A and B are shown apart, each in its own frame.
Chain A
Amino acid sequence: MAFINRAQFGYKAQASWGTAVTVNKFLDYIAPDGIQTRMGYIEQQGVRAGGRVRGHTRYARYADGAGGDVSFEVQSKGFGGLFMLANGTVTTAGPTDSAYTHTAKIDTLMGASKAFTMQLNRPFQAGDTNQAFTYGSCKIMSYRLENSVPNLLMFTPTIECRDVTTATSLASASYASGTVEPFTFAGASVTIGGTAYCPETFNLQVNNNLSNDTRRLCSSGLRGEFYEAGYREIILELGGGDFNDLSLYNLFTASGPNTLQAVASWTAATLIGTATYPSVTVTVDEAAVWEHTIGTGMDRVSQVVRFHGLFDGTNAPLSIAYVSADTSADPAA
Protein backbone atom coordinates (compact mmCIF):
# COMPACT_ATOMS: atom_id res chain seq x y z
CA MET A 1 0.00 0.00 0.00
CA ALA A 2 1.58 3.22 -1.14
CA PHE A 3 -0.70 5.87 0.18
CA ILE A 4 -1.83 5.11 3.69
CA ASN A 5 1.57 5.44 5.32
CA ARG A 6 2.68 8.30 3.10
CA ALA A 7 -0.36 10.60 3.17
CA GLN A 8 0.86 14.03 4.18
CA PHE A 9 -0.59 17.52 4.36
CA GLY A 10 1.60 20.46 5.30
CA TYR A 11 1.33 24.21 5.04
CA LYS A 12 2.96 27.49 6.02
CA ALA A 13 1.96 31.09 5.47
CA GLN A 14 3.97 33.04 2.92
CA ALA A 15 5.64 36.38 3.42
CA SER A 16 4.59 37.54 -0.02
CA TRP A 17 2.32 36.58 -2.89
CA GLY A 18 3.99 34.42 -5.50
CA THR A 19 6.84 33.19 -3.33
CA ALA A 20 6.25 29.71 -1.99
CA VAL A 21 7.91 28.63 1.25
CA THR A 22 8.87 25.33 2.83
CA VAL A 23 5.90 23.96 4.70
CA ASN A 24 6.42 23.25 8.39
CA LYS A 25 2.98 22.61 9.88
CA PHE A 26 1.49 19.19 9.41
CA LEU A 27 -2.00 17.96 10.10
CA ASP A 28 -3.97 14.76 9.73
CA TYR A 29 -6.50 15.19 6.95
CA ILE A 30 -9.31 13.25 5.38
CA ALA A 31 -8.48 11.36 2.22
CA PRO A 32 -9.24 11.78 -0.54
CA ASP A 33 -8.65 15.51 -0.60
CA GLY A 34 -10.28 17.54 -3.34
CA ILE A 35 -7.31 19.59 -4.48
CA GLN A 36 -6.73 19.28 -8.20
CA THR A 37 -4.51 21.03 -10.73
CA ARG A 38 -6.30 22.94 -13.46
CA MET A 39 -5.18 23.89 -16.93
CA GLY A 40 -6.77 26.40 -19.26
CA TYR A 41 -7.10 25.89 -22.99
CA ILE A 42 -7.29 28.40 -25.78
CA GLU A 43 -8.36 26.89 -29.07
CA GLN A 44 -7.52 28.67 -32.29
CA GLN A 45 -10.57 29.48 -34.37
CA GLY A 46 -8.97 30.02 -37.78
CA VAL A 47 -10.10 27.84 -40.62
CA ARG A 48 -8.23 26.50 -43.62
CA ALA A 49 -8.70 24.15 -46.55
CA GLY A 50 -8.29 20.44 -45.97
CA GLY A 51 -9.36 20.10 -42.36
CA ARG A 52 -12.56 18.98 -40.66
CA VAL A 53 -10.94 18.46 -37.27
CA ARG A 54 -8.92 21.08 -35.47
CA GLY A 55 -5.22 20.75 -36.16
CA HIS A 56 -3.24 19.10 -33.39
CA THR A 57 -1.12 22.16 -32.76
CA ARG A 58 -3.97 24.65 -32.97
CA TYR A 59 -4.40 25.27 -29.29
CA ALA A 60 -2.46 26.68 -26.38
CA ARG A 61 -2.47 25.73 -22.73
CA TYR A 62 -1.92 27.82 -19.67
CA ALA A 63 -1.62 27.07 -16.01
CA ASP A 64 -4.85 27.75 -14.17
CA GLY A 65 -3.75 27.10 -10.61
CA ALA A 66 -5.33 24.51 -8.38
CA GLY A 67 -8.06 24.29 -5.85
CA GLY A 68 -10.61 22.26 -3.98
CA ASP A 69 -11.63 21.19 -0.51
CA VAL A 70 -9.62 19.52 2.22
CA SER A 71 -11.35 18.22 5.32
CA PHE A 72 -9.87 17.94 8.77
CA GLU A 73 -11.05 16.48 12.03
CA VAL A 74 -10.36 19.37 14.37
CA GLN A 75 -7.90 18.27 17.05
CA SER A 76 -6.72 19.74 20.31
CA LYS A 77 -3.40 20.81 18.83
CA GLY A 78 -2.39 22.39 15.57
CA PHE A 79 -5.47 24.19 14.26
CA GLY A 80 -4.95 27.79 15.35
CA GLY A 81 -3.01 28.64 12.21
CA LEU A 82 -5.69 27.40 9.83
CA PHE A 83 -8.37 29.27 11.76
CA MET A 84 -6.29 32.41 11.32
CA LEU A 85 -5.88 31.87 7.58
CA ALA A 86 -9.62 31.27 7.29
CA ASN A 87 -10.57 34.50 9.04
CA GLY A 88 -7.74 37.01 8.83
CA THR A 89 -6.18 37.48 12.24
CA VAL A 90 -5.39 35.65 15.45
CA THR A 91 -4.40 36.85 18.89
CA THR A 92 -2.83 34.59 21.47
CA ALA A 93 -3.31 34.91 25.21
CA GLY A 94 -1.68 32.90 27.95
CA PRO A 95 -0.40 30.67 29.17
CA THR A 96 -3.01 30.18 31.84
CA ASP A 97 -2.96 26.77 33.43
CA SER A 98 -0.51 25.71 30.70
CA ALA A 99 -3.10 26.59 28.05
CA TYR A 100 -3.04 29.24 25.34
CA THR A 101 -6.14 30.80 23.83
CA HIS A 102 -5.79 31.56 20.14
CA THR A 103 -8.70 33.70 19.00
CA ALA A 104 -9.21 34.02 15.27
CA LYS A 105 -11.34 36.90 14.04
CA ILE A 106 -12.37 38.42 10.78
CA ASP A 107 -9.76 40.78 9.43
CA THR A 108 -8.09 41.51 6.14
CA LEU A 109 -7.13 38.52 4.04
CA MET A 110 -4.72 40.62 2.00
CA GLY A 111 -0.98 40.98 2.39
CA ALA A 112 1.76 39.13 4.20
CA SER A 113 0.93 35.90 5.99
CA LYS A 114 -2.56 35.71 4.53
CA ALA A 115 -1.60 33.41 1.67
CA PHE A 116 0.09 30.11 2.25
CA THR A 117 1.98 27.29 0.64
CA MET A 118 0.35 23.89 0.87
CA GLN A 119 1.94 20.56 0.13
CA LEU A 120 0.28 17.19 -0.37
CA ASN A 121 2.00 13.91 -1.00
CA ARG A 122 0.66 11.89 -3.94
CA PRO A 123 2.88 8.80 -3.76
CA PHE A 124 3.29 6.67 -6.85
CA GLN A 125 1.24 3.54 -6.55
CA ALA A 126 4.01 1.43 -8.05
CA GLY A 127 7.32 1.77 -6.28
CA ASP A 128 5.97 3.21 -3.04
CA THR A 129 7.80 6.48 -3.56
CA ASN A 130 6.83 10.04 -2.63
CA GLN A 131 5.65 12.65 -5.09
CA ALA A 132 4.98 15.98 -3.51
CA PHE A 133 2.56 18.44 -5.05
CA THR A 134 3.36 21.90 -3.75
CA TYR A 135 0.68 24.53 -4.17
CA GLY A 136 1.84 28.13 -3.92
CA SER A 137 -0.01 31.28 -2.93
CA CYS A 138 -3.14 29.62 -1.63
CA LYS A 139 -6.02 31.27 0.18
CA ILE A 140 -9.05 29.94 1.98
CA MET A 141 -11.94 31.14 -0.14
CA SER A 142 -14.62 29.76 2.17
CA TYR A 143 -14.92 27.20 4.90
CA ARG A 144 -17.30 25.01 6.82
CA LEU A 145 -17.13 24.06 10.48
CA GLU A 146 -19.54 21.24 11.14
CA ASN A 147 -20.64 18.85 13.81
CA SER A 148 -23.56 16.49 14.19
CA VAL A 149 -24.66 13.57 16.29
CA PRO A 150 -22.69 11.30 16.66
CA ASN A 151 -19.67 12.71 14.89
CA LEU A 152 -16.46 14.71 15.21
CA LEU A 153 -16.03 18.42 14.72
CA MET A 154 -14.93 18.89 11.13
CA PHE A 155 -13.21 21.82 9.42
CA THR A 156 -13.36 22.00 5.64
CA PRO A 157 -11.73 24.93 3.88
CA THR A 158 -12.18 25.49 0.17
CA ILE A 159 -8.75 26.45 -1.04
CA GLU A 160 -7.64 28.21 -4.18
CA CYS A 161 -3.98 28.32 -5.21
CA ARG A 162 -2.10 30.41 -7.74
CA ASP A 163 0.38 27.76 -8.86
CA VAL A 164 1.53 24.20 -8.43
CA THR A 165 4.84 22.44 -8.83
CA THR A 166 5.94 18.83 -8.62
CA ALA A 167 9.61 19.77 -8.42
CA THR A 168 9.75 20.59 -4.71
CA SER A 169 10.81 17.78 -2.42
CA LEU A 170 8.41 16.45 0.14
CA ALA A 171 8.99 18.20 3.44
CA SER A 172 9.81 16.05 6.46
CA ALA A 173 6.71 15.95 8.60
CA SER A 174 6.46 16.35 12.33
CA TYR A 175 3.10 15.94 14.04
CA ALA A 176 1.90 17.26 17.36
CA SER A 177 2.11 14.38 19.79
CA GLY A 178 1.37 13.60 23.38
CA THR A 179 -2.33 14.06 24.07
CA VAL A 180 -3.90 15.08 20.77
CA GLU A 181 -7.65 14.61 20.81
CA PRO A 182 -10.62 15.26 18.56
CA PHE A 183 -13.66 17.28 19.52
CA THR A 184 -16.86 15.29 19.52
CA PHE A 185 -20.57 15.96 19.65
CA ALA A 186 -20.52 14.72 23.24
CA GLY A 187 -18.37 17.69 24.26
CA ALA A 188 -20.52 20.22 22.43
CA SER A 189 -22.81 22.90 23.78
CA VAL A 190 -24.75 25.69 22.10
CA THR A 191 -26.35 28.82 23.47
CA ILE A 192 -28.61 31.26 21.67
CA GLY A 193 -28.90 34.60 23.38
CA GLY A 194 -27.37 33.04 26.48
CA THR A 195 -29.91 30.23 26.65
CA ALA A 196 -28.88 26.64 26.07
CA TYR A 197 -30.14 25.18 22.83
CA CYS A 198 -29.71 21.59 21.69
CA PRO A 199 -29.62 21.03 17.94
CA GLU A 200 -28.64 17.79 16.24
CA THR A 201 -26.47 19.52 13.70
CA PHE A 202 -24.20 22.56 13.67
CA ASN A 203 -23.07 23.98 10.37
CA LEU A 204 -21.11 27.22 10.12
CA GLN A 205 -20.41 28.35 6.58
CA VAL A 206 -18.25 31.35 5.92
CA ASN A 207 -17.71 32.72 2.45
CA ASN A 208 -14.75 35.06 2.40
CA ASN A 209 -15.86 36.46 -0.96
CA LEU A 210 -12.35 36.58 -2.32
CA SER A 211 -12.00 37.15 -6.04
CA ASN A 212 -9.45 35.19 -8.04
CA ASP A 213 -10.22 37.19 -11.15
CA THR A 214 -6.71 38.58 -10.98
CA ARG A 215 -5.06 37.32 -14.14
CA ARG A 216 -3.52 40.09 -16.20
CA LEU A 217 -1.18 40.43 -19.16
CA CYS A 218 1.85 39.78 -17.00
CA SER A 219 3.33 37.24 -14.57
CA SER A 220 3.17 34.48 -17.20
CA GLY A 221 -0.56 34.52 -16.92
CA LEU A 222 -0.54 33.55 -13.26
CA ARG A 223 -3.05 35.19 -10.98
CA GLY A 224 -2.29 38.17 -8.83
CA GLU A 225 -3.26 38.17 -5.19
CA PHE A 226 -6.85 37.18 -4.59
CA TYR A 227 -8.62 40.19 -3.16
CA GLU A 228 -11.60 40.85 -0.96
CA ALA A 229 -14.46 41.49 -3.32
CA GLY A 230 -17.45 41.58 -1.01
CA TYR A 231 -18.76 41.25 2.51
CA ARG A 232 -17.96 38.08 4.36
CA GLU A 233 -21.01 35.87 4.48
CA ILE A 234 -21.50 34.13 7.79
CA ILE A 235 -24.24 31.53 7.82
CA LEU A 236 -24.94 29.39 10.85
CA GLU A 237 -27.43 26.61 10.54
CA LEU A 238 -28.64 24.69 13.57
CA GLY A 239 -30.69 21.69 12.54
CA GLY A 240 -32.80 19.17 14.33
CA GLY A 241 -33.50 21.13 17.48
CA ASP A 242 -36.72 20.30 19.27
CA PHE A 243 -39.52 22.77 18.54
CA ASN A 244 -40.33 23.66 22.15
CA ASP A 245 -41.42 27.28 21.92
CA LEU A 246 -41.86 30.18 19.53
CA SER A 247 -38.81 32.16 20.55
CA LEU A 248 -36.75 31.51 17.40
CA TYR A 249 -39.79 31.49 15.16
CA ASN A 250 -40.81 34.89 16.51
CA LEU A 251 -37.37 36.25 15.75
CA PHE A 252 -37.80 34.95 12.21
CA THR A 253 -41.15 36.65 11.72
CA ALA A 254 -40.36 39.91 13.53
CA SER A 255 -40.38 42.89 11.27
CA GLY A 256 -37.44 44.84 12.59
CA PRO A 257 -33.78 43.88 12.85
CA ASN A 258 -33.06 41.80 15.91
CA THR A 259 -30.13 39.61 16.66
CA LEU A 260 -28.84 37.30 19.34
CA GLN A 261 -25.40 36.08 20.18
CA ALA A 262 -24.94 32.46 19.13
CA VAL A 263 -22.17 30.52 20.83
CA ALA A 264 -21.12 26.95 20.20
CA SER A 265 -18.28 25.27 21.99
CA TRP A 266 -16.58 21.92 22.04
CA THR A 267 -14.43 20.62 24.86
CA ALA A 268 -11.96 17.77 24.51
CA ALA A 269 -11.60 15.06 27.10
CA THR A 270 -8.20 15.58 28.71
CA LEU A 271 -7.04 18.51 30.81
CA ILE A 272 -4.18 20.62 29.52
CA GLY A 273 -3.23 21.81 33.00
CA THR A 274 -5.12 21.32 36.22
CA ALA A 275 -8.47 22.83 35.26
CA THR A 276 -8.40 23.78 31.57
CA TYR A 277 -9.58 21.56 28.77
CA PRO A 278 -8.79 22.04 25.10
CA SER A 279 -11.74 23.72 23.46
CA VAL A 280 -13.11 25.40 20.38
CA THR A 281 -15.62 28.19 20.86
CA VAL A 282 -17.39 29.78 17.94
CA THR A 283 -19.15 33.06 18.63
CA VAL A 284 -21.43 34.69 16.12
CA ASP A 285 -21.88 38.00 17.84
CA GLU A 286 -24.95 39.25 16.03
CA ALA A 287 -26.91 36.30 14.70
CA ALA A 288 -30.13 37.15 12.91
CA VAL A 289 -32.67 34.42 12.23
CA TRP A 290 -32.85 34.41 8.43
CA GLU A 291 -34.73 31.19 7.82
CA HIS A 292 -36.84 29.00 10.06
CA THR A 293 -38.22 25.63 9.04
CA ILE A 294 -40.48 23.45 11.13
CA GLY A 295 -40.33 19.73 10.57
CA THR A 296 -43.36 17.73 11.62
CA GLY A 297 -42.74 14.04 11.74
CA MET A 298 -44.59 11.15 13.29
CA ASP A 299 -42.02 11.00 16.05
CA ARG A 300 -41.40 14.63 16.93
CA VAL A 301 -41.55 18.26 15.86
CA SER A 302 -38.21 19.86 15.15
CA GLN A 303 -36.85 23.05 13.67
CA VAL A 304 -34.00 24.14 11.46
CA VAL A 305 -32.80 27.65 12.16
CA ARG A 306 -30.50 29.48 9.80
CA PHE A 307 -28.77 32.59 11.10
CA HIS A 308 -26.84 35.25 9.26
CA GLY A 309 -23.91 36.70 11.17
CA LEU A 310 -23.93 40.49 11.10
CA PHE A 311 -21.69 43.29 12.35
CA ASP A 312 -22.68 45.69 15.14
CA GLY A 313 -19.93 48.14 14.22
CA THR A 314 -17.74 47.31 17.17
CA ASN A 315 -17.46 43.67 18.15
CA ALA A 316 -16.05 40.90 16.03
CA PRO A 317 -18.92 39.45 14.02
CA LEU A 318 -17.32 36.03 14.23
CA SER A 319 -14.61 34.61 16.44
CA ILE A 320 -13.16 31.17 16.89
CA ALA A 321 -11.36 30.76 20.21
CA TYR A 322 -9.07 27.74 20.25
CA VAL A 323 -7.71 26.71 23.63
CA SER A 324 -4.70 24.48 23.22
CA ALA A 325 -1.31 23.60 24.62
CA ASP A 326 0.15 25.12 21.42
CA THR A 327 2.25 28.15 22.19
CA SER A 328 1.56 29.83 18.87
CA ALA A 329 -1.08 29.96 16.16
CA ASP A 330 1.01 32.03 13.78
CA PRO A 331 0.82 30.23 10.44
CA ALA A 332 3.95 32.02 9.28
CA ALA A 333 6.16 30.98 12.19
Chain B
Amino acid sequence: MRVTYRGPHDRVFVPEAGQEVEHGHSIEVDDELGARLLEQEGTWREYHRRSPSAHETTEESNTADEAASEEGNA
Protein backbone atom coordinates (compact mmCIF):
# COMPACT_ATOMS: atom_id res chain seq x y z
CA MET B 1 0.00 0.00 0.00
CA ARG B 2 1.19 3.56 -0.70
CA VAL B 3 0.22 6.30 1.68
CA THR B 4 0.72 10.04 1.38
CA TYR B 5 1.78 12.25 4.25
CA ARG B 6 -0.44 15.32 4.68
CA GLY B 7 0.39 16.44 8.21
CA PRO B 8 1.86 19.74 9.43
CA HIS B 9 5.57 18.98 9.07
CA ASP B 10 7.70 19.44 5.97
CA ARG B 11 8.89 15.87 6.37
CA VAL B 12 8.50 13.02 8.81
CA PHE B 13 10.23 9.79 9.72
CA VAL B 14 8.09 6.70 10.19
CA PRO B 15 9.96 4.36 12.52
CA GLU B 16 7.88 1.29 11.72
CA ALA B 17 8.56 1.73 8.04
CA GLY B 18 12.14 2.89 8.50
CA GLN B 19 11.42 5.58 5.94
CA GLU B 20 11.29 9.33 5.71
CA VAL B 21 8.68 11.06 3.59
CA GLU B 22 8.20 14.66 2.58
CA HIS B 23 4.93 16.48 2.97
CA GLY B 24 2.65 15.66 0.07
CA HIS B 25 4.70 12.67 -0.98
CA SER B 26 4.05 9.00 -0.48
CA ILE B 27 5.80 5.90 0.76
CA GLU B 28 5.21 2.20 0.23
CA VAL B 29 4.34 0.34 3.43
CA ASP B 30 2.85 -3.03 4.18
CA ASP B 31 -0.92 -3.15 4.24
CA GLU B 32 -1.16 -3.57 8.02
CA LEU B 33 0.96 -0.50 8.72
CA GLY B 34 -0.81 1.40 5.97
CA ALA B 35 -4.18 0.68 7.53
CA ARG B 36 -3.00 1.96 10.90
CA LEU B 37 -1.54 5.11 9.39
CA LEU B 38 -4.80 5.79 7.57
CA GLU B 39 -6.61 5.73 10.92
CA GLN B 40 -4.81 9.02 11.60
CA GLU B 41 -7.18 11.27 9.76
CA GLY B 42 -5.66 14.48 8.58
CA THR B 43 -2.16 13.09 8.56
CA TRP B 44 -2.20 10.25 6.07
CA ARG B 45 -4.28 9.37 3.08
CA GLU B 46 -4.22 6.51 0.66
CA TYR B 47 -2.26 7.14 -2.47
CA HIS B 48 -4.24 6.50 -5.60
CA ARG B 49 -2.08 6.07 -8.63
CA ARG B 50 -3.77 7.14 -11.79
CA SER B 51 -3.01 5.41 -15.05
CA PRO B 52 -0.49 7.20 -17.24
CA SER B 53 -2.00 8.94 -20.20
CA ALA B 54 -0.97 7.94 -23.68
CA HIS B 55 1.87 10.43 -23.81
CA GLU B 56 3.12 9.86 -20.20
CA THR B 57 5.41 7.31 -18.66
CA THR B 58 4.40 5.77 -15.32
CA GLU B 59 7.09 7.81 -13.60
CA GLU B 60 5.73 11.04 -15.07
CA SER B 61 2.25 10.07 -13.93
CA ASN B 62 3.42 9.44 -10.36
CA THR B 63 5.25 12.75 -10.23
CA ALA B 64 2.12 14.52 -11.39
CA ASP B 65 0.10 12.76 -8.72
CA GLU B 66 2.39 13.91 -5.94
CA ALA B 67 2.40 17.45 -7.27
CA ALA B 68 -1.39 17.37 -7.30
CA SER B 69 -1.32 16.11 -3.74
CA GLU B 70 0.86 19.06 -2.73
CA GLU B 71 -1.57 21.45 -4.39
CA GLY B 72 -4.39 19.81 -2.50
CA ASN B 73 -2.70 20.84 0.73
CA ALA B 74 -2.20 24.45 -0.20
Contact = CB atoms under 8 A, between A and B. Distances in A.
| Interface footprint category on B | 20 to 34
Interface string B1-30: 000010111111111100010010000000
A176 B14 contact: no
A326 to B, nearest CB: 5
Contacts of A78: 8-9
Interface string B33-74: 100110111110000000000000000000000000000010
B40 A22 contact: yes
A262 B5 CA distance: 39
A78 B37 CA distance: 18
Contacts of B36: 169, 171-172
B41 A174 contact: no
Interface string A75-102: 0011010000000000000000000000
Contacts of B9: 77-78, 176-178, 325-327
Interface residues of A, number: 24
A323 interface: no
A171 B40 contact: yes
Interface in A164-207: 169, 171-178
B13 A177 contact: yes
A328 interface: yes
Contacts of B39: 22, 171
Interface in A2-42: 12, 22-25
**A interface, over-half SS:** loop
B15 A23 contact: no
Given A22-B39, A333-B42, A175 B8 contact: no
Contacts, number: 67
A196 B35 CA distance: 52
Interface string A301-330: 000000000000000000000000111111
Given A22-B41, A24-B41, A24-B43, A173 B11 contact: no
Nearest to B33: A172
Contacts of A172: 14, 16, 33, 36-37, 40
Contacts of A12: 40
B15 A173 contact: yes
B25 to A, nearest CB: 13
A78 B20 CA distance: 16
Give the one of A24, A77, A172, A326 with max B CB within 10 A: A172
Given A172-B16, A173-B15, A327-B23, 13 more contacts: A22-B39, A24-B42, A25-B7, A80-B8, A171-B36, A172-B33, A173-B16, A174-B14, A175-B12, A177-B20, A178-B9, A326-B9, A329-B8
11 contacts: A23-B40, A24-B43, A169-B36, A173-B14, A175-B13, A176-B12, A177-B11, A178-B10, A326-B8, A327-B9, A328-B8
